[in-house]
Chains A and B, each alone.
Chain A
Amino acid sequence: MQAINSGDTAWVLASGALVLFMTPGLAIFYGGMVRAKSALNMMMMSFAAIGITTIIWVLYGYSLAFGKSNNGIIGSLDHLGLAATLDQVTGPEGHQIPVLAFAMFQLTFAIITVALLSGAIADRAKFGSWVLFVAVWITLVYLPVAHWAFASQSGTGGWIIDKVKALDFAGGTVVEINSGAAALALAIVLGKRDGFKRDPMRPHNMPLVLLGAGMLWFGWFGFNAGSALSAGSLAATAMINTQIATAAAAMTWIAYEKKRDGKATTLGVASGAIAGAVAITPACGFVNPLGALILGLIAGVASAWAVTRKYKLGYDDSLDVVGVHGVGGILGMLAIGLIATVTANEAGANGLFFHGGTTQLGRQMIAIVAVALFSFAATWIIATLIQKTIGFRVYRDDELNGLDTTFHAESAYDITGNSNRY
């Protein structure tokens, strides 16, 4: 066994736990946002995502995402069943960590990405079909994109990171744009909820939403700073940039909201925080703290505006995956092209405003467009095939009664006394 950097390893292991924590956090965040009658189903979709994705990851997911690249498109099958990973190390000289620590860390990214999609199809997806969708989507959409943008292999790895040389520190493409584009496709294929635009459909439990947002904020430090894959100044930069952007966006979202709707809401402060964290995700390791602040201030307003587009354009992206994750991811990726600076990370680049010209900006745009188009198209096809074969959208009666009783024989709060209250 070669020498392992124990400090780096400890941080990556901790980050794996932090990022995994984000998925139950997402379950609570989303669960509080939907109506009580389908709250458990929404949370169940996240928990199912954890289970299915983990199984796929060990069987072939890690291998296809991070195995030796086939022309930059997809990895090899050398690590089926996580073969040839025990006792292996990865990373540059002096910063080597166990491959399994890296594999664990990356697994948690796959999990949260697919779990995010559940927000777009609240209250109307058949649970069995969701389980099938998770398996197919991870395999056909997540694994390729993760390979393209994350699997750097000395210039011969994923094409977006190694050939195009787009910069994406922690998953602006793989997680954010990917989930945003896929969510849009899902929302369109499954159609609008009964009562969309007519009924208020307000969150049924805002304290849960705030708790979930807090869990996501906390876990995001693992997501972003853990992506440094080392416990040092790059991780510290990524961490404080994450804090700055998240906090700033929370404030600008509610400021914009107060001006537009008359009141600053807790849903707004929670959403704003997430919007900022999303936007800084690709940029956290490439910009300086003031850059993170500017990005956060803009992201709060941009996403607060973007989430209203669904009413104008007529798609029911129920929990705003498109407006927050899609738009935020695009913003963050573009921001790199504008305000990245090598003083923040010498392995990064200089953006337009740091005399880097438009070179990096062009690379970022290629990455954005490629991932968005691929994700949208592939998800559209998968969702449509599921809808046309086993069905994806629930029957109207089930939707009106609520999915918790329909699919899980449970009720979140037992308001009607389903258990033995009398």
Chain B
Amino acid sequence: MKLITAIVKPAKVDDIKVALQAAGVAGMTVSETRGFGRQKGHTEIYRGAEYTVDFIPKVRIEVLVDDAEAQSIIDTIVTAANTGSIGDGKLWVTPVEQVIRIRTGERGGDAL
């Protein structure tokens, strides 16, 4: 089993959710966060003074998947999240040791 984590632009969350549901994903977790990658260092002017703004608002999406489906889910997310402009974000995959459905106690693939 794998955990797919994607940091994406807040404006794209809806598109990603719709695409994941179409791909048959049963659930996901989203949280608000801030960050920067190579896009950091943009200056803005407020009330006549210039500032460097580092952290940009982003959304973290987390999805648990079976190894077999991982690659297709990854492609789904990347396609849905992409706008072509700076700040689109990043996705990574980590292995997961155990997954349990809390209500029923189901384990492993049945819990996904």
Contact = CB atoms under 8 A, between A and B. Distances in A.
Nearest to B48: A308
A308 B49 contact: yes
A261 B45 contact: yes
B92 interface: no
B43 to A, nearest CB: 10
Interface residues of A, number: 16
B46 A307 contact: no
Interface string A78-98: 000000000000000000000
A260 B44 CA distance: 12
A171 B93 CA distance: 66
Interface in B12-34: none
B48 A260 contact: yes
A200 B45 contact: no
B47 interface: yes
Interface string A329-359: 0000000000000000000000000000000
B51 interface: yes
A197 B50 CA distance: 8
B96 interface: no
A267 interface: yes
Contacts of B47: 257, 261, 265, 267-268, 307-308
A262 B44 CA distance: 10
B45 to A, nearest CB: 4
A311 B49 CA distance: 8
Contacts of B56: none
A199 interface: yes
B48 to A, nearest CB: 4
A166 B19 CA distance: 73
Contacts of A197: 49
Contact of B48 (A199, A200, A202, A311): A311
Interface string A176-207: 00000000000000000000011110100000
B96 to A, nearest CB: 26
A202 B46 contact: yes
Nearest to B53: A200
A119 B45 CA distance: 22
Contacts of B49: 197, 308, 311
Interface string A244-269: 00000000000001001110010110
A261 B48 contact: yes
Nearest to A268: B47
Interface string B44-79: 111111010100000000000000000000000000
A305 to B, nearest CB: 8
A262 B51 contact: no
A262 B47 CA distance: 10
Nearest to A305: B48
Contacts of B51: 198-200
Interface string A196-234: 011110100000000000000000000000000000000
A210 to B, nearest CB: 15
A249 B53 CA distance: 30
B42 to A, nearest CB: 12
A304 B48 CA distance: 9
A198 B48 CA distance: 14
B48 A307 contact: yes
A319 to B, nearest CB: 11
A198 B45 CA distance: 12
Of the listed residues B44, B45, B46, the one surrounded by the most CB atoms of chain A closer than 10 A to its CB is: B46
Of the listed residues B44, B45, B48, B51, the one surrounded by the most CB atoms of chain A closer than 10 A to its CB is: B48
A400 B45 CA distance: 24
Interface string A264-289: 01011000000000000000000000
Contacts of A265: 46-47
A308 B50 CA distance: 11
Contacts of A268: 47
Contacts of B45: 260-262
20 contacts: A197-B49, A198-B51, A199-B51, A200-B44, A200-B46, A200-B53, A202-B46, A257-B47, A260-B45, A260-B48, A261-B46, A261-B47, A262-B45, A265-B46, A265-B47, A267-B47, A268-B47, A307-B48, A308-B49, A311-B48
Interface of B: 44-49, 51, 53
Interface of A: 197-200, 202, 257, 260-262, 265, 267-268, 304, 307-308, 311
Q: 4 closest Cβ contacts across the A-B interface?
A: A308-B48, A200-B51, A261-B45, A311-B49
Given A200-B51, A257-B47, A311-B48, 8 more contacts: A197-B49, A200-B53, A260-B45, A261-B45, A261-B47, A268-B47, A307-B47, A308-B49
